Protein backbone atom coordinates (compact mmCIF):
# COMPACT_ATOMS: atom_id res chain seq x y z
CA UNK A 1 0.00 0.00 0.00
CA UNK A 2 2.99 2.29 0.44
CA UNK A 3 3.57 2.21 -3.33
CA UNK A 4 -0.09 2.94 -3.97
CA UNK A 5 -0.02 5.92 -1.63
CA UNK A 6 3.16 7.20 -3.24
CA UNK A 7 1.77 6.93 -6.75
CA UNK A 8 -1.52 8.58 -5.87
CA UNK A 9 0.39 11.34 -4.06
CA UNK A 10 2.58 11.83 -7.13
CA UNK A 11 -0.37 11.99 -9.52
CA UNK A 12 -2.48 14.22 -7.32
CA UNK A 13 0.23 16.40 -5.81
CA UNK A 14 -0.78 19.19 -8.19
CA UNK A 15 -3.96 19.49 -6.15
CA UNK A 16 -2.10 20.10 -2.92
CA UNK A 17 -0.73 23.44 -4.07
CA UNK A 18 -2.32 26.57 -5.48
CA UNK A 19 -0.21 26.32 -8.61
CA UNK A 20 0.12 23.30 -10.89
CA UNK A 21 2.97 22.21 -13.16
CA UNK A 22 0.63 22.42 -16.15
CA UNK A 23 0.01 26.12 -15.35
CA UNK A 24 3.52 26.89 -16.60
CA UNK A 25 4.77 27.37 -20.14
CA UNK A 26 8.50 27.54 -19.33
CA UNK A 27 10.64 24.95 -17.52
CA UNK A 28 14.30 25.60 -16.75
CA UNK A 29 16.75 22.69 -16.71
CA UNK A 30 19.99 23.45 -14.81
CA UNK A 31 23.47 22.87 -16.17
CA UNK A 32 24.09 20.51 -13.24
CA UNK A 33 21.61 18.52 -11.17
CA UNK A 34 21.95 19.12 -7.43
CA UNK A 35 22.96 15.61 -6.28
CA UNK A 36 24.56 14.17 -9.42
CA UNK A 37 28.23 14.54 -10.38
CA UNK A 38 27.36 13.41 -13.92
CA UNK A 39 24.22 13.97 -15.98
CA UNK A 40 24.05 10.47 -17.53
CA UNK A 41 22.13 12.00 -20.46
CA UNK A 42 19.20 12.86 -18.20
CA UNK A 43 19.23 16.53 -19.17
CA UNK A 44 18.68 15.63 -22.83
CA UNK A 45 16.07 12.99 -21.95
CA UNK A 46 14.20 15.41 -19.67
CA UNK A 47 14.25 18.21 -22.23
CA UNK A 48 12.91 15.95 -24.99
CA UNK A 49 10.16 14.58 -22.75
CA UNK A 50 9.02 18.01 -21.56
CA UNK A 51 8.96 19.35 -25.13
CA UNK A 52 6.74 16.40 -26.00
CA UNK A 53 4.34 17.62 -23.30
CA UNK A 54 4.26 21.11 -24.89
CA UNK A 55 6.58 22.89 -22.43
CA UNK A 56 9.16 25.43 -23.59
CA UNK A 57 12.46 24.18 -22.18
CA UNK A 58 15.03 26.76 -21.09
CA UNK A 59 18.70 25.78 -20.91
CA UNK A 60 21.99 27.65 -20.98
CA UNK A 61 22.46 31.40 -20.57
CA UNK A 62 19.47 33.43 -19.38
CA UNK A 63 20.45 36.08 -21.91
CA UNK A 64 19.01 33.79 -24.57
CA UNK A 65 15.68 33.27 -22.78
CA UNK A 66 12.41 34.82 -24.08
CA UNK A 67 11.73 38.22 -22.50
CA UNK A 68 8.65 37.07 -20.54
CA UNK A 69 10.82 34.41 -18.87
CA UNK A 70 14.01 36.45 -18.54
CA UNK A 71 12.34 39.53 -17.03
CA UNK A 72 10.12 37.66 -14.56
CA UNK A 73 11.48 34.47 -13.01
CA UNK A 74 8.04 33.61 -11.62
CA UNK A 75 6.97 32.68 -15.14
CA UNK A 76 9.51 29.84 -15.05
CA UNK A 77 9.34 26.47 -13.30
CA UNK A 78 12.71 25.09 -12.17
CA UNK A 79 13.33 21.37 -12.68
CA UNK A 80 15.83 19.27 -10.74
CA UNK A 81 16.64 15.56 -10.63
CA UNK A 82 17.68 14.15 -7.25
CA UNK A 83 19.59 10.88 -6.80
CA UNK A 84 17.36 8.68 -4.63
CA UNK A 85 19.10 5.37 -5.39
CA UNK A 86 19.07 2.34 -3.12
CA UNK A 87 21.44 -0.60 -2.92
CA UNK A 88 20.07 -2.55 -5.89
CA UNK A 89 18.02 -0.04 -7.90
CA UNK A 90 18.63 3.25 -9.65
CA UNK A 91 16.08 5.74 -8.31
CA UNK A 92 15.45 9.41 -9.00
CA UNK A 93 13.15 12.11 -7.72
CA UNK A 94 12.01 14.68 -10.29
CA UNK A 95 11.18 18.01 -8.64
CA UNK A 96 9.60 21.18 -9.97
CA UNK A 97 9.97 24.39 -7.93
CA UNK A 98 8.58 27.88 -8.45
CA UNK A 99 10.45 31.18 -8.16
CA UNK A 100 10.03 31.09 -4.36
CA UNK A 101 11.76 27.69 -4.14
CA UNK A 102 8.43 26.05 -3.29
CA UNK A 103 8.00 22.47 -4.52
CA UNK A 104 5.05 22.36 -6.94
CA UNK A 105 5.32 18.69 -7.82
CA UNK A 106 7.67 15.84 -6.90
CA UNK A 107 7.67 12.47 -8.70
CA UNK A 108 9.71 9.35 -7.95
CA UNK A 109 10.91 6.76 -10.46
CA UNK A 110 12.94 3.55 -10.15
CA UNK A 111 14.66 1.09 -12.49
CA UNK A 112 16.20 -2.36 -12.17
CA UNK A 113 18.66 -1.59 -14.98
CA UNK A 114 22.10 -1.59 -13.36
CA UNK A 115 23.89 0.49 -16.01
CA UNK A 116 23.88 4.04 -14.64
CA UNK A 117 23.04 5.90 -17.85
CA UNK A 118 20.30 3.51 -18.97
CA UNK A 119 19.04 2.92 -15.44
CA UNK A 120 18.75 6.57 -14.44
CA UNK A 121 17.06 7.45 -17.74
CA UNK A 122 14.59 4.58 -17.26
CA UNK A 123 13.85 5.78 -13.71
CA UNK A 124 13.40 9.33 -15.02
CA UNK A 125 10.98 8.03 -17.65
CA UNK A 126 8.87 6.51 -14.86
CA UNK A 127 8.88 9.77 -12.90
CA UNK A 128 7.69 11.68 -15.98
CA UNK A 129 4.51 9.60 -16.30
CA UNK A 130 2.59 11.86 -13.92
CA UNK A 131 3.76 15.14 -15.46
CA UNK A 132 0.75 16.68 -17.23
CA UNK A 133 0.74 18.41 -20.59
CA UNK A 134 1.38 22.15 -20.42
CA UNK A 135 -1.81 24.21 -20.22
CA UNK A 136 -0.45 27.60 -19.12
CA UNK A 137 -2.53 30.20 -17.34
CA UNK A 138 -2.04 33.91 -17.95
CA UNK A 139 1.61 34.71 -17.30
CA UNK A 140 2.52 37.00 -14.44
CA UNK A 141 3.09 40.56 -15.66
CA UNK A 142 6.66 41.76 -16.12
CA UNK A 143 7.68 43.76 -13.06
CA UNK A 144 7.68 47.52 -13.67
CA UNK A 145 8.26 50.49 -11.40
CA UNK A 146 4.81 52.05 -11.14
CA UNK A 147 2.60 53.18 -8.31
CA UNK A 148 -0.50 51.64 -9.83
CA UNK A 149 -1.84 48.50 -8.15
CA UNK A 150 -1.33 45.34 -10.13
CA UNK A 151 -4.56 43.69 -11.17
CA UNK A 152 -4.60 39.92 -11.01
CA UNK A 153 -6.81 37.66 -13.04
CA UNK A 154 -8.31 34.77 -11.06
CA UNK A 155 -7.82 31.34 -12.56
CA UNK A 156 -10.27 28.50 -12.38
CA UNK A 157 -9.51 24.88 -11.62
CA UNK A 158 -9.00 22.89 -14.80
CA UNK A 159 -11.39 19.98 -14.37
CA UNK A 160 -9.89 18.18 -17.38
CA UNK A 161 -6.39 18.04 -15.88
CA UNK A 162 -4.48 15.37 -17.84
CA UNK A 163 -2.98 13.87 -14.70
CA UNK A 164 -6.28 13.34 -12.84
CA UNK A 165 -6.98 9.67 -12.16
CA UNK A 166 -10.24 7.71 -12.38
CA UNK A 167 -10.92 4.14 -11.24
CA UNK A 168 -11.77 1.14 -13.42
CA UNK A 169 -12.34 -2.47 -12.36
CA UNK A 170 -12.76 -5.86 -14.06
CA UNK A 171 -14.19 -7.37 -10.88
CA UNK A 172 -10.80 -8.56 -9.69
CA UNK A 173 -8.44 -5.65 -10.22
CA UNK A 174 -9.12 -2.02 -9.36
CA UNK A 175 -6.92 0.23 -11.50
CA UNK A 176 -6.31 3.95 -11.76
CA UNK A 177 -6.58 5.48 -15.23
CA UNK A 178 -4.11 8.34 -15.74
CA UNK A 179 -4.27 10.41 -18.95
CA UNK A 180 -0.66 11.14 -19.91
CA UNK A 181 -1.43 13.28 -22.96
CA UNK A 182 -3.97 13.46 -25.78
CA UNK A 183 -2.63 10.29 -27.40
CA UNK A 184 -1.99 7.93 -24.49
CA UNK A 185 -3.05 6.89 -21.00
CA UNK A 186 -2.06 4.25 -18.46
CA UNK A 187 -3.80 1.90 -16.05
CA UNK A 188 -1.87 1.39 -12.82
CA UNK A 189 -2.47 -1.14 -10.04
CA UNK A 190 -3.07 0.15 -6.54
CA UNK A 191 -0.04 -1.73 -5.22
CA UNK A 192 2.46 -0.61 -7.85
CA UNK A 193 4.07 2.56 -9.14
CA UNK A 194 4.68 0.86 -12.52
CA UNK A 195 1.83 0.96 -15.08
CA UNK A 196 -0.20 -2.25 -15.40
CA UNK A 197 -0.82 -1.33 -19.05
CA UNK A 198 -0.02 1.57 -21.37
CA UNK A 199 -2.52 2.57 -24.09
CA UNK A 200 -1.40 4.46 -27.20
CA UNK A 201 -3.88 5.63 -29.80
CA UNK A 202 -4.02 4.18 -33.32
CA UNK A 203 -5.37 5.66 -36.54
CA UNK A 204 -8.79 4.22 -35.64
CA UNK A 205 -10.86 6.21 -33.18
CA UNK A 206 -11.05 4.76 -29.64
CA UNK A 207 -8.75 1.83 -30.52
CA UNK A 208 -5.36 1.58 -28.78
CA UNK A 209 -2.15 -0.38 -28.87
CA UNK A 210 -1.73 -1.87 -25.38
CA UNK A 211 1.57 -2.79 -23.74
CA UNK A 212 1.55 -4.61 -20.40
CA UNK A 213 4.16 -4.17 -17.67
CA UNK A 214 5.77 -7.50 -18.68
CA UNK A 215 6.24 -6.31 -22.26
CA UNK A 216 3.36 -8.28 -23.85
CA UNK A 217 1.26 -6.34 -26.37
CA UNK A 218 -2.32 -6.52 -27.62
CA UNK A 219 -5.12 -4.12 -28.53
CA UNK A 220 -7.71 -2.33 -26.45
CA UNK A 221 -10.68 -0.08 -27.09
CA UNK A 222 -13.57 1.81 -25.56
CA UNK A 223 -16.93 0.02 -25.60
CA UNK A 224 -20.05 1.46 -23.98
CA UNK A 225 -17.92 3.58 -21.66
CA UNK A 226 -15.79 0.61 -20.62
CA UNK A 227 -12.13 -0.10 -21.36
CA UNK A 228 -11.80 -3.46 -23.11
CA UNK A 229 -8.51 -5.34 -23.49
CA UNK A 230 -8.30 -8.34 -25.82
CA UNK A 231 -6.33 -11.11 -24.08
CA UNK A 232 -4.74 -13.87 -26.25
CA UNK A 233 -5.90 -17.38 -25.31
CA UNK A 234 -4.09 -20.73 -25.57
CA UNK A 235 -6.18 -21.82 -28.58
CA UNK A 236 -5.11 -18.81 -30.63
CA UNK A 237 -8.23 -16.77 -30.00
CA UNK A 238 -8.94 -13.80 -27.77
CA UNK A 239 -11.02 -13.14 -24.69
CA UNK A 240 -12.31 -9.80 -23.45
CA UNK A 241 -11.06 -8.27 -20.21
CA UNK A 242 -13.61 -5.54 -19.49
CA UNK A 243 -12.82 -2.72 -17.06
CA UNK A 244 -15.84 -0.66 -16.02
CA UNK A 245 -15.68 2.82 -14.56
CA UNK A 246 -16.35 3.15 -10.83
3-state SS, residue 91: strand
pLDDT at 87: 73
pLDDT at 152: 53
To the nearest whole percent, how much of the chain has pLDDT over 90?
A: 39
Residue 171: which pLDDT band, with cuts at 50, 70 and 90?
very high
pLDDT at 193: 67
CA gap 28, 80 in Å, rounded:
9
pLDDT at 1: 47
The pTM of this model reads 0.53
pLDDT at 150: 55
* CB neighbours of residue 32 within 10 Å: 11
pLDDT digits over 10-25, tens only?
A: 444 333 445 789 899 9
pLDDT at 180: 84
Buried/exposed code over 150-159 (b: 16+ C-beta within 10 A; e: otherwise): eeeeeeeeee
3-state SS, residue 215: coil
CA gap 220, 47 in Å, rounded:
30
| 170 pLDDT above the threshold of 80 | yes
Listed in order, strand segments (DSSP E) in the chain are: 26-28, 56-58, 76-83, 90-97, 103-111, 165-169, 174-181, 184-189, 195-201, 207-212, 217-223, 226-232, 238-245
Task: Give 45's contacts (C-beta < 8 A, 6+ positions apart).
Answer: 121, 124, 125
189 close to 8: Cβ distance less than 8 angstroms: no
pLDDT digits over 48-72, tens only?
A: 999 999 999 999 888 889 998 988 8
pLDDT at 130: 85
226 close to 244: Cβ distance less than 8 angstroms: yes
Residue 6: which pLDDT band, with cuts at 50, 70 and 90?
very low
pLDDT at 28: 95
To the nearest whole percent, how much of the chain has pLDDT over 70?
A: 80
pLDDT at 159: 36
Rg (CA), the chain: 20
| 179 pLDDT above the threshold of 90 | no
Rounded to 5°, angle at Cα 84 from 2 and 118: 110
47 close to 128: Cβ distance less than 8 angstroms: no
Higher per-residue confidence, 185 vs 18: 185
Q: What is the mean pLDDT of residues 215-242?
A: 89
Amino acid sequence: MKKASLFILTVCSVLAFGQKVSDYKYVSIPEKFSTFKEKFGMDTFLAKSLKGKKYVVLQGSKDQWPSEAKENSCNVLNADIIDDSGFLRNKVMLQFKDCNDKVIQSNKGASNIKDYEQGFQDALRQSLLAVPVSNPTILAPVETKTNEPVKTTPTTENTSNASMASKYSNGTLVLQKVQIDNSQFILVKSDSSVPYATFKETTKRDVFRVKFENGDTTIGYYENGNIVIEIPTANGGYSKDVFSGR
